[in-house]
Amino acid sequence: MELAVGPFDDEGAEIAIESLPYRRSWMRWPRRVQWGTLRVGRRAPSFAKVPDEPAVVEPLVPAGPVMSNRVVRLGARMTFHGHDWLINDETHHHDAPVKVGELQVWDLVNETGMDHPFHLHGFFFQVVAVNGVRVTPSAWEDTVNITGKQRVTIAFRPDDRPGMWMYHCHILEHHAAGMMGHFEVVR
């Protein structure tokens, strides 16, 4: 999330910075937590530059039905130690390689009742469908929140940076407990 603040007319005011209640699963009740304070300082000129024309995001996937070439299933299983968080039924999943320049269209399927913010390292993608319904990409993303039981389809084209890359749930305890995948970019 990006946050833009100002201008403020009340120099010296203090504004609470809070995380607002958000229920990311059916298991926990959300709470409001103040984690910082913003103190309004002296007014200063803005250095922001707004372009005359907004950027146009050219869709990677042509009009028509969206055909994916990979399914990434986000799941969980109970263990003696709590939960394993899974990708395609395993922890720390080793996925198939992808070729430089080849269009990748992935279905990200959340099989759990909890949100999982999916993060792709090294590449930006476009969201092209949500629950099978086509959407027009309006931005390049590196993270998308996939709510419980939701399916999000993304598209990206890996550039010429061969090597190992990863994707994972951006909830740190899920990532650490296995909801992470690796794939190789090859020429």
Residue 150 lies in a domain: yes
Residue 49 lies in a domain: no
Pairing verdict, β 104-110 and 133-134: unpaired
Q: Which tens digit of pLDDT belongs to each residue from 143-181?
A: 999 999 999 999 999 999 999 999 999 998 899 999 999
Rounded to the nearest 10°, the torsion over CA 4, 9, 12, 17 is -30
Domain that holds residue 179: 70-186
Residue 87 lies in a domain: yes
Residue 101 lies in a domain: yes
Residue 133 lies in a domain: yes
Q: Which tens digit of pLDDT belongs to each residue from 68-122?
A: 999 999 999 999 888 899 999 999 999 999 999 999 999 999 999 999 999 999 9
Residue 23 has pLDDT above 50, yes or no: yes
CATH number for the domain harbouring residue 100: 2.60.40.420
Q: The pTM is what?
A: 0.80
Residue 51 lies in a domain: no
Residue 11 lies in a domain: no
Q: How many domains does the chain have?
A: 1
Q: 103: buried, middle or exposed (CB in 10 Å: 19+, 13-18, 0-12)?
A: middle
Residue 61 lies in a domain: no
